[in-house]
């Protein structure tokens, strides 16, 4: 976006003088009530991980469900950085060591399950997940009375706190409930679920955990063959009457240092117990309340609105700036054949919602993992898999582009981008006509990662890389000679391979089988190298998406095939089709995958959790309301026909802008733009009539240039508020929902899963 083309594009008529102001709409949001209507409510007990309630602080977390076998309440605990570190004895993980793999060398490892066992047998129970305060509460009826709990994971401390109250009795006397810790199996999950694999047969598991009492604290210590250990400590504070108690649990991971995790875990609990529980809760709740209020959106569909806010909650329980990047689990471990992080779609989709939602802090750890391991990643992906790393660098770029931090893009992104381009040069060949083609490379995951020449996946990522290198270099006033080289390559680069059904996988491979991945469609979304506002591109992508979903009746599609289609249709401005695919994901069949009542998502018969897909669905919701690509900001670009009202506040756009707007009865009521950087921008607002300034000053004149364009000057920190008419009093207020439609998530009456969907792995200690 160049300053010379600085315009504000709106669908209005006539010449208008607009003036920059620092005014805002009235905020009429009851935040506790608004967020709480999206709480997850369990009318039936969750009986396995796939149904559980969840909470965490971005580093540690718990999944809560009921074990019928043990007649107990399970608090399945996890910590995001507990992985093996084979072949890297001096580090916490071996992810950065060449030749290692996530399946066996730096796989996630299970911590264990804390079991609350009532005196009586559990007969029934209900659970509520309060996302406004990030707390879980439950009430259970047993054959001996009732037992209740409240659980939360303070954001500021690596401790998990569970309060318990019991009315259980044995005869006329109070009956005691019990706590029991079941340590996780310290083996590679891949080896556990596929013991017949050749690698599994030669795999040597870590030693069994040691459960003991140390300095008055209960301890489970797990030593690792590669060196070091991690430990879980817990301590219960019992009230004088014996009917209430508070359990404190901490997980320490001081790998690679030996014998340090136990004292760290103990000290963490001791520090927490020195504070009043109320002060811990207050600090914890305050953090969450500030987090939610960084942005706002409300739409007519109560289910979709709740889904969006729960994904924001989920992402904040999984990610924090000082934590590791989010893998397929986050802090919610479940034994799986995919025990870690994948780079051909998963990590990219996981972070999609953080940019527009104005929660860039949640994306910082993805930048960190790339910074810390770039050379190893480059060596690993330089070749047929190069598109995976280039796509990852698109997320990396967005982290700074949405902040308007061009200096970071120049200093941090560009050196890495140049190295990736050098790898792409090795994959280029010039044909007899002088065209540049790409040798056979992968298009994930088509035909089991077979290689094809001129894959649309790599042509799209390469084009995006070159255009962004050119733009960054122009902005920085550098690489003048290289710019000419990059432009020449773009001019000679072969066109995207197409056939009668649209975009192909590669030049010799049509889309001829059902395929869950939309790697061949990246040129439109999220890279926007094909332009939705160009008719030919729009027709091509429309045909391509339609064929992708219909071939073989979509038998191999997965959940992200539907969230991806929703985003693709939103990019095309087709709100009804975007909404149809999102609804299919939330309520219908999703092929080889399952979307669960707790908003988690699994594949392989429910056995393997894959966290990125619901998170990418939250991005699809955002993209119906706001998009920024091609040097423009698009307001309400893909609103479904049935959505008459919608609003949002402080959503973020490329270049460092906060956008707020309200749609009432399918008319744009008001629109506000705040520039954080003073950069020029272009904005297009749908459903806009004769917009005019809400209040005026004489500081900045904006002249209407015709064809719906206006030139505007905003300094950093300045904002402008436009309204439909002078009679409009700009107000931000939530779309009202029928009470029967709120709390759509959580297990409802008669909706428990009919069978257990866990891998049949035996606990190491019972």
Do residues 451 and 441 lie in contact, with contact meaning Cβ atoms separated by under 8 Å? yes
Span 279-302, mean pLDDT? 98
Three-class secondary structure assignment of 419-463: HHHHHHHHCEEECCCCCEEECCEECCCCCCCCEECCCHHHHHHHH
Detail the DSSP E strand segments found in 512-654. 593-595, 601-603, 608-609, 626-629, 632-635, 646-653
pLDDT for the residue numbered 483: 97
Do residues 715 and 673 lie in contact, with contact meaning Cβ atoms separated by under 8 Å? no
Do residues 82 and 253 lie in contact, with contact meaning Cβ atoms separated by under 8 Å? yes
Nearest to 563 by CA among 582, 540, 544, 579: 582
**Residue 259 and residue 268: Cα distance in Å, rounded?**
15
Please indicate whether residue 711 or residue 22 has the higher confidence score (pLDDT).
22
**Residue 260 and residue 685: Cα distance in Å, rounded?**
57
- Using the CB atoms, write b or e for 66-82: b if 16+ within 10 Å: bbeebbbbbbbbbbbbb
pLDDT for the residue numbered 766: 66
pLDDT tens digits, one per residue of 116-149 = 999 999 999 999 999 999 999 999 999 999 999 9
DSSP class per residue in 470-507: HHHHHHHT--HHHHHHHHHHHHHBPPPPEETTEE-SBT
Span 466-485, mean pLDDT? 96
Nearest to 192 by CA among 311, 322, 338, 13: 338
pLDDT tens digits, one per residue of 534-587 = 999 999 999 999 999 999 999 999 999 999 999 999 999 999 999 999 999 999
The answer on pLDDT for 83 being more than 50 is yes
Three-class secondary structure assignment of 218-242: EEEEEECCCCCEEEEEEEEEECCCC
Angle between helix 414-426 and helix 386-401 axes, rounded to 10 deg: 160
CA dihedral of 458, 464, 466, 472, whole degrees rounded to 10: -150
pLDDT for the residue numbered 4: 34
Do residues 151 and 67 lie in contact, with contact meaning Cβ atoms separated by under 8 Å? no
Beta partners for residue 626, in sequence order: 635
pLDDT for the residue numbered 708: 41
CA separation, residue 285 to residues 25, 132, 133, 457 (Å): 26, 8, 5, 43
Is this structure's pTM higher than 0.75? yes
pLDDT for the residue numbered 15: 40
Do residues 751 and 744 lie in contact, with contact meaning Cβ atoms separated by under 8 Å? no
**Residue 444 and residue 521: Cα distance in Å, rounded?**
11
The answer on pLDDT for 152 being more than 90 is yes
**Residue 295 and residue 13: Cα distance in Å, rounded?**
31
**Residue 195 and residue 210: Cα distance in Å, rounded?**
24
CA separation, residue 309 to residues 20, 306, 599, 642, 695 (Å): 32, 5, 11, 21, 33
The answer on pLDDT for 13 being more than 60 is no
- Using the CB atoms, write b or e for 386-397: b if 16+ within 10 Å: bbbbbbbbbbbb
**Residue 155 and residue 361: Cα distance in Å, rounded?**
14
CA dihedral of 471, 473, 476, 477, whole degrees rounded to 10: -120
Detail the DSSP E strand segments found in 636-680. 646-653, 657-664, 667-675
Do residues 505 and 456 lie in contact, with contact meaning Cβ atoms separated by under 8 Å? yes
**Residue 188 and residue 640: Cα distance in Å, rounded?**
46
Q: How far apart are the first and last CA of the chain?
A: 61
Do residues 164 and 116 lie in contact, with contact meaning Cβ atoms separated by under 8 Å? yes
Detail the DSSP E strand segments found in 258-358. 296-298
pLDDT tens digits, one per residue of 644-656 = 999 999 999 999 9
pLDDT for the residue numbered 690: 65
Do residues 293 and 31 lie in contact, with contact meaning Cβ atoms separated by under 8 Å? yes
**Residue 3 and residue 682: Cα distance in Å, rounded?**
10
CA dihedral of 659, 660, 665, 668, whole degrees rounded to 10: -60
What is the enclosing helix (H) or strand (E) of 31?
A: helix 31-36
Using DSSP, state whether 350 is helix, strand or coil: helix
Span 462-467, mean pLDDT? 98
Detail the DSSP E strand segments found in 94-228. 112-117, 122-130, 135-142, 145-152, 160-166, 169-170, 173-174, 178-183, 210-214, 217-223
- Using the CB atoms, write b or e for 630-639: b if 16+ within 10 Å: bebbbbbbbb
| 560, HSE (Cβ side, Cα atoms, 13 Å) | 25
What is the enclosing helix (H) or strand (E) of 261?
A: helix 261-274
Q: Of the spans 357-361, 475-479, 631-635, 719-723, which averages the highest pLDDT?
A: 357-361
Span 329-355, mean pLDDT? 97
What is the enclosing helix (H) or strand (E) of 464?
A: helix 456-476
pLDDT for the residue numbered 8: 41
pLDDT for the residue numbered 684: 87
């Amino acid at each position: 976006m160049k300053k010379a083309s600085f315009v504000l594009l709106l669908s209005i008529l006539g010449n208008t003088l607009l003036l920059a102001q620092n005014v805002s709409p009235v905020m009429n949001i009851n935040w506790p009530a608004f967020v709480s209507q999206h709480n997850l409510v369990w009318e039936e007990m969750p009986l396995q991980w796939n149904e559980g309630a969840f909470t965490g602080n971005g580093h540690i977390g718990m999944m809560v469900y009921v074990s019928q076998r043990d007649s107990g309440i399970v608090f399945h605990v996890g910590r995001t950085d507990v992985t093996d570190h084979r072949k890297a004895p001096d580090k916490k993980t071996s992810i950065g060591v060449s030749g290692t793999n996530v399946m066996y060398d730096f796989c996630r490892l299970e911590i264990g399950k804390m079991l609350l066992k009532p005196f009586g047998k559990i007969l029934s129970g209900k659970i509520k997940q309060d996302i406004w305060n990030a707390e879980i509460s439950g009430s259970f009826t047993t054959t001996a009375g009732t037992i209740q709990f409240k659980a939360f994971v303070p954001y500021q401390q690596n401790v998990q706190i569970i309060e318990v109250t019991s009315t259980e009795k044995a005869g006329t006397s109070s009956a005691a409930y019990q706590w029991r810790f079941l340590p996780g199996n310290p083996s590679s999950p891949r080896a556990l679920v596929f013991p017949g694999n050749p690698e599994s047969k030669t795999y040597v598991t870590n030693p069994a955990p040691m459960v003991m009492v140390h300095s008055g604290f209960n301890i489970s210590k797990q030593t690792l063959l590669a060196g070091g250990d991690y430990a879980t400590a817990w301590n219960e504070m019992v009230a004088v009457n014996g009917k209430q108690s508070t359990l404190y649990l901490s997980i320490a991971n001081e790998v690679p240092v030996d014998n340090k995790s136990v004292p760290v875990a103990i000290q963490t609990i001791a520090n927490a117990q020195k504070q009043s529980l109320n002060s811990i809760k207050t600090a914890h709740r305050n953090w969450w309340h500030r987090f939610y209020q960084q942005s706002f959106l409300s739409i007519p569909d109560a289910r979709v609105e709740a889904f969006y806010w729960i994904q924001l909650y989920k992402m904040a329980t999984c990610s924090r700036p000082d934590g590791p990047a989010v893998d397929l689990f986050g802090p919610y471990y479940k034994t799986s054949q995919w025990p870690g992080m994948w780079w051909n779609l998963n990590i990219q989709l996981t972070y999609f919602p953080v940019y527009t939602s104005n929660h860039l802090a949640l994306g910082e750890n993805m930048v960190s993992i790339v910074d810390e391991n770039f050379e190893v990643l480059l060596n690993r992906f330089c070749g047929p898999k190069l598109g995976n790393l280039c796509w990852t660098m698109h997320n990396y770029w967005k982290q700074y582009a949405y902040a308007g931090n061009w200096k970071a893009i120049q200093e941090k992104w560009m050196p890495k981008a140049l190295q990736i381009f050098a790898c792409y040069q090795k994959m280029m060949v010039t044909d007899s006509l002088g065209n540049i083609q790409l040798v056979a490379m992968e298009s994930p995951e088509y035909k089991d990662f077979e290689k094809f020449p001129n894959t649309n996946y790599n042509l799209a990522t390469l084009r995006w890389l070159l255009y962004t290198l050119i733009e960054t270099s122009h902005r920085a006033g550098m690489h003048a000679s290289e710019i000419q080289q990059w432009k020449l390559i773009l001019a000679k680069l072969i066109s995207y391979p197409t056939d009668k059904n649209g975009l192909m996988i590669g030049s010799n491979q049509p889309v001829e089988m059902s395929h869950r991945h939309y790697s061949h469609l990246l040129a439109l979304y999220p890279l926007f190298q094909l332009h939705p506002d160009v008719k030919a591109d729009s027709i091509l992508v429309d045909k391509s998406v339609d064929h992708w979903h219909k071939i073989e009746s979509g038998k191999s599609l997965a959940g992200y095939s539907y969230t991806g289609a929703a985003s693709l249709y939103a990019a095309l401005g087709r709100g009804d089709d975007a909404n149809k695919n999102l609804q299919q994901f939330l309520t219908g069949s999703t092929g080889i995958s399952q979307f669960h009542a707790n908003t988690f998502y699994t594949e392989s018969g429910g056995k393997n959790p894959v966290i990125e897909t619901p998170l990418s669905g939250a991005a699809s919701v955002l993209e119906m309301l706001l998009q920024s690509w091609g040097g423009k900001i698009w307001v309400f670009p893909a609103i479904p026909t049935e959505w008459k009202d919608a609003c949002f506040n402080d959503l973020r756009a490329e270049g460092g802008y906060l956008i707020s707007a309200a749609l009432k009865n399918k008319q744009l009521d008001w629109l506000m733009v705040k520039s954080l950087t003073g950069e020029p921008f272009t904005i297009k607002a749908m459903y806009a009539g004769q917009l005019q300034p809400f209040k005026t000053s004489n500081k900045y004149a904006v002249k209407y240039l015709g064809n719906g364009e206006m030139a505007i000057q905003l300094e950093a920190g300045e904002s402008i508020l436009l309204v439909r008419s002078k009679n409009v009093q700009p107000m931000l207020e939530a779309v009202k929902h029928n009470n029967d439609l709120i709390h759509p998530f959580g297990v409802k009456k008669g909706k428990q899963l009919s069978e257990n969907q866990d891998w049949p792995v035996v606990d190491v200690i019972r």
